Amino acid sequence: MLQGLRFAAGALRESQASCQLIRPAVAAAQRPYHKNVVDHYENPRNVGSFGKNDANVGTGLVGAPACGDVMKLQIKVDEAGNIIDSCFKTFGCGSAIASSSVATEWIKGKTIEEVVTIKNSDIAKHLSLPPVKLHCSMLAEDAIKAAVKDIQAKRAAAGQAPAAVEEKMAATA
Amino acid sequence: MTPTRGQYEKGSRHTQRLQHETFDVDSKQLDRTFRQLQTRLHPDKLSSSVPEEQENAANQSAYVNGAYRTLKDPLARAYHLLQRRGRSDGQGGEGTIEDPELLMMVMETRQQIEEAESQEDLMALRHTNEAKRRDCIQSMSVAFGKEDLDLAEELVTQLRYLTTAGDAISLKL
């Protein structure tokens, strides 16, 4: 019986090292959040929602089962493939909220081709995320990609050629 | 490589032992065993003054505490069982999921919790959430009983999200 219990204790210690739901104020006493994280947590940019069914909106909905986080990132894309607006809604720890807030700021004004090159390491570096929170920035990277995939699928289904091809066709007409 | 007879027998015994590890736990029996172990191991109860023995008992007592917490909590217990059966995904993995149905439900629930204002609303949400948790745990018991580990993993993810939602409600109450 004790042998089985030893295995269990080991598993429990490992699980306690992962994501925890703590507010930055409390966390400061235990492990201080970087000021960029606190900034994005207390003044998150672009919290909100666009209409899912809007033809120009791409929605990325991703989750991290390890800590029960869920992240929704949306983009409003013009015909040329530029992201003219973006918003997010994240339920999870401060690092996850901050990562998605940063992501929505960075992608505004870029094209959908450009934003899929944004790496989680860039976000993590900007927020000085500790190793145990790196998966939060990964979640944001995946959310961006999922939103782009969604808008591309919508446009393909609507029978539209990708914007770049369309422009080329118009130029050579 | 063909296992030797000795290896086969050892593997067979290991499998038999695993088969006896069920998800279901007799809660009262668990509490009783825990108390019995602690009575034997608790450092205060040891009359011996040998420091090595006391330290040993203190370590074992800590293991037993951790093991009890793991076995008592259905989610921790499920993760532990999956790990024991070689599912490295025991923690829900490092990965991102994109299950639209599950994540939309999670988003909606978390949003309802966030928007809830009155005590009554929160209690109602807790009631619904607890019912879902009970159903999920019941289904998990069936899945483990059938050794359907794929289903068990899916249910563990669901339970993780239901647990996080429950925590969010408790935080607001």
Instruction: Note whether residue B157 is domain-resident.
Output: yes
B107 vs A40: which has the higher pLDDT: B107
B110 and B59 fall within a common domain: no
Give the pLDDT score at A118. 96
B104 and B167 fall within a common domain: yes
B58 and B119 fall within a common domain: no
Instruction: Note whether residue B84 is domain-resident.
Output: no
Q: Given the DSSP bridges, would you call strands A83-91 and A69-77 parallel, antiparallel or unpaired?
A: antiparallel
Residue in chain B closest to A72 (alpha carbons) equals B107
B55 and B108 fall within a common domain: no
Query: HSE (CB half, 13 Å, CA atoms) of B5?
Result: 0
Structure tokens that stand for B86 in this block: 């070689």
Instruction: Note whether residue B79 is domain-resident.
Output: no
Mean local confidence (pLDDT), B6-26:
66
Instruction: Note whether residue B83 is domain-resident.
Output: no
Q: Is B157 on the interface with A (CB under 8 A)?
A: yes
Cα–Cα distance between B85 and B17 in angstroms, integer?
11
The continuous run of DSSP H or E covering A76 comes out as: strand A69-77
Q: Please give the C-alpha separations between residue B133 and each of A116, A125, B34, B113, B141, in angstroms, as whole numbers.
A: 37, 37, 25, 16, 12
Q: Facing residues of B97 across strands?
A: A63
Q: Is A9 on the interface with B (CB under 8 A)?
A: yes
CB contact at 8 A, A118 and A103: yes
Cα–Cα distance between A99 and B120 in angstroms, integer?
34
Give the pLDDT score at A173. 56
Taking chain A (173 residues) in runs of 10, the rounded mean pLDDT of each run is 48 43 45 79 88 95 93 97 97 94 96 96 94 94 97 87 57 60
Whole domain around residue B57: which residue ranges?
5-72
Q: Tell me the catalytic residues of A.
A: 67, 136
Which range is least confidently modeled, A154-163, B34-43, B124-133?
A: A154-163
Residues of B whose CB is below 8 A from A91:
106-107, 110, 114, 164, 168
B107 and B162 fall within a common domain: yes
- Last residue in a domain, options B54, B72, B90: B72
Predicted ipTM of the assembly: 0.77
Please count the other Cβ atoms lying within 10 Å of the Cβ belonging to residue A173.
5
The dihedral through the CA atoms of A31, A66, B112, A90 has a sign that is: positive
Residue in chain B closest to A132 (alpha carbons) equals B94
The interface residues of chain B toward chain A in range 13-72, judged by CB-CB distance below 8 A, are 21, 33, 37, 60, 62-71
Give the pLDDT score at A4. 52
Instruction: Note whether residue B158 is domain-resident.
Output: yes
Q: For position B20, which CATH number holds?
A: 1.10.287.110
Instruction: Note whether residue B90 is domain-resident.
Output: no
Least CB–CB distance from B96: residue in A1, A15, A64: A64
B104 and B63 fall within a common domain: no
Mean local confidence (pLDDT), B127-147:
96
Which one-letter amino acid corresponds to residue A105?
E
B56 and B119 fall within a common domain: no
Q: Structurally, how many domains does chain B consist of?
A: 2
Least CB–CB distance from B94: residue in A5, A69, A135: A135
Instruction: Note whether residue B95 is domain-resident.
Output: no
Q: Is B134 on the interface with A (CB under 8 A)?
A: no
B121 and B159 fall within a common domain: yes
B17 and B56 fall within a common domain: yes
The continuous run of DSSP H or E covering A59 comes out as: strand A57-64
The residue count of chain B comes to 173
Give the pLDDT score at A171. 65
A63:B102 CB<8 A: yes
* Residue whose tokens read 């920035």: A137
Q: For position B109, which CATH number holds?
A: 1.20.1280.20
- Last residue in a domain, options B72, B90, B116: B72
Instruction: Note whether residue B26 is domain-resident.
Output: yes
Q: Does the pTM of the predicted model rise above 0.90? A: no
Which of B96, B113, B129 is the best residue to mutate to test the A interface, defined by the most A CB atoms within 10 Å of its own CB? B96
* Residue whose tokens read 């009575």: B39
Least CB–CB distance from B167: residue in A21, A62, A139: A21
B92:A65 CB<8 A: yes
